[in-house]
Structure 1
Amino acid sequence: MNLEQVRTLDAADRLRPVRDRFVLRDGVIYLDGNSLGALPKATAPHLAEVVERQWGEDLITSWNKHGWIDWPQRIAAKLAPIVGAKPNELLIADSTTVCLFKLLAAAVAAQPGRSSILTEEANFPTDLYAAQGLATLRPDVRPRTVPREDIPSAIDQDTAVLFLTHVDYRSGLRHDMAALNETAHAMGALTLWDLSHSAGAVELELNRSGCDLAVGCGYKYLNGGPGAPAFLYVSERLQGRLQSPLSGWMGHAAPFAFAGKYEPAPDIRRFLTGTPSILALAALDAGLDTFGGVAVADLEAKSQELTRFFIEAVEDRCGSETQLASPRDPKARGSHVCFAHPQGYAVMQALIARGIVGDFRPPDLIRFGFAPLYNGYEDAWHAADALAAILSTREWDRPRFLEWQKVT
């Protein structure tokens, strides 16, 4: 396939006009939206409005006048069609790890007589750390890790929570959420899913799949900016049953009554803790607006086609120089692709020097994230071409590419 044919594919892409909603620098192909989403063009003006007029002019009255107090729910409601949930089941709050800990602790407490948190050995480290941290506070709780293939058979009557990441952060391998929810429920276990590498790139149906609890990241495919707050999902049927372990005043049924005794809000608001970060919420608000008018099924379809195209282009041009480390079946992977190379870190640094921005994950994976809202076939075509050139000439074998930086 030549470049003219590739551009024809982009011209036929129904999501192509959405690309114009983002700041994308000339000379840079950004394939790291799975770590930090690109900047929406609307973010800076929206932040300026919130800072200069709402904060600058209206000051504290903005909590009422501009509805700041309701932003954690109002902005979360924009996620409903993206993740397949009801608006009243979603909340923007805290960081991913804090949300994971809160929901994990709440789920375990709601399952008396069950002591194990079941997860997979290769789960994302912060997820494992959250479970380990909870176990230090609850000695009766036992994190239990098993290989991915053993998860269904490992769910038993001692399992309080099945705790998994939907799309693996390395390989991109996707769990069958609906099947695992069904298996867990049959054994009386609750399920908690980390959607950080899913939300905004692949089709999710939290309600239809029977999901109990979920958490997701705001700064990856949702384009909320560096360090954007996370979101959490609690099924409507569980909201009255689960109690947040962090009983902060914003989770109180009547926070401005200033009562001395905690009484949790009757709904999703009970999982709020402290005062929401309005500037961070404003940036995430603009990020979620980039999904306006976009069908999640179209995101899924484009993700599958883009990643398939990229895999074929890399294998055609690079041959045995690098090996695919992601599922070949598009339905089995998320929206990023990994290839293995013994000098993967240096290879990625050489790509970044050429303006092809991806990232690296140990021990040897070069990772390319395809954000369906703004990445296209020409991006994938040029990235594969650059990778082939770097490998064939050993361009990566230079001191500056071999020197490790703090963030990989």
Structure 2
Amino acid sequence: MLNGEQNARSNFPINLYIAVALCTQRGLTLELHDADQMDQLVGALTPQVAVLMLTHVNYRTGTMHDMATVMQAAHAAHAAGVLTVWDLAHSASAVPDYLTNAHAIMQALIARGVIGDFRAGSGDGHHLDILHFGFTPLDIGFKDLWHGVKDLRQVLSTGEWQQPEFR
């Protein structure tokens, strides 16, 4: 285990709980590697490794890992025949999109039945406006997600959010 305590604190806990449970049930070894030590991770990718779990963002801090470095690990895993699982769920909230008119966009989505909320930024540019969508598998299914993304695309591409009732 390489820097396992650091990884356990910085990676999303549910991913690790699942991995620990599967390894325990099957008598397998779980190795944790810190994203800052990708060279050691790449060296550990052999055909004996079953799965590599990668993430783009530290879910607690929002710090984004260098994708060029993370992709080196993904390519090495592929070359070694290792299945790679990406958890990009936290990337959506960490990657700035500098969206303007977020309130009007959310109002247009709500009018289409897409449930979310708008969180106002500071107005001084230090904290951006946020569109927040709650995705919980108990509440929505894939079809709901698919239609929500389709609606978001239409609202943005057509400028529907610019209609007076949404401003």
Relative to the length of structure 1, the TM-score reads: 0.24
Aligned to 2:15: 127
Superposed CA RMSD in Å reads 3.7
Give, in whole Å, the separation in 2 of the partners of 1:285 and 1:136: 35
- C-alpha offsets along residues 359-404 of structure 1, whole Å, 9 cap, x if unaligned? xxxxxxxxxxxxxxxxxxxxxxxxxxxxxxxxxxxxxxxxxxxxxx
Aligned to 2:140: 280
Cα pair distance change 1:188/1:283, threshold 3 Å: closer
Larger RCO (alpha carbons 8 Å, 6+ apart): 1
Aligned to 1:290: 152
Is the counterpart of residue 163 in structure 1 residue 56 in structure 2? no
**One-letter identity of the residue aligned with 1:287:** G
Is 2:56–2:87's contact at 8 Å kept on the other side of the alignment? yes
Could you tell me how far 1:181 is from its partner in structure 2? 1.3
Is the counterpart of residue 189 in structure 1 residue 82 in structure 2? yes
Is 1:132–1:143's contact at 8 Å kept on the other side of the alignment? yes
- C-alpha offsets along residues 12-54 of structure 1, whole Å, 9 cap, x if unaligned? xxxxxxxxxxxxxxxxxxxxxxxxxxxxxxxxxxxxxxxxxxx
- C-alpha offsets along residues 211-240 of structure 1, whole Å, 9 cap, x if unaligned? xxxxxxxx9x99553x522xxxxxxxxxxx
Is 1:163–1:191's contact at 8 Å kept on the other side of the alignment? yes
Cα pair distance change 1:224/1:147, threshold 3 Å: closer
Give, in whole Å, the separation in 2 of the partners of 1:294 and 1:183: 38
Over the matched positions of the two proteins, sequence identity in percent amounts to 36
- C-alpha offsets along residues 150-189 of structure 1, whole Å, 9 cap, x if unaligned? 2332333132211122211122222314332112223332
Give, in whole Å, the separation in 1 of the partners of 2:33 and 2:23: 17
Q: Secondary structure at the match of 1:188?
A: coil
Is 1:224–1:286's contact at 8 Å kept on the other side of the alignment? no
Aligned to 2:112: none
Cα pair distance change 1:144/1:184, threshold 3 Å: same
Cα pair distance change 1:202/1:293, threshold 3 Å: farther
Give the count of matched residue pairs: 113
Structure showing greater radius of gyration is 1
Q: Within 5 Å, which residues of 2 pair with 1:333-344?
A: none
Cα pair distance change 1:163/1:183, threshold 3 Å: same
Q: Which ranges of structure 2 fall in alignment gaps of 5 or more residues?
A: 97-115, 117-129, 158-167
Is 1:131–1:143's contact at 8 Å kept on the other side of the alignment? yes
Is 2:59–2:90's contact at 8 Å kept on the other side of the alignment? yes
Q: Which ranges of structure 1 fall in alignment gaps of 5 or more residues?
A: 1-115, 204-218, 230-276, 296-408
Q: Secondary structure at the match of 2:91?
A: coil
- C-alpha offsets along residues 279-338 of structure 1, whole Å, 9 cap, x if unaligned? 62365355322233658xxxxxxxxxxxxxxxxxxxxxxxxxxxxxxxxxxxxxxxxxxx
Is 1:167–1:198's contact at 8 Å kept on the other side of the alignment? yes
Give, in whole Å, the separation in 2 of the partners of 1:222 and 1:187: 40
* 1:149 corresponds to which of 15, 36, 49: 36
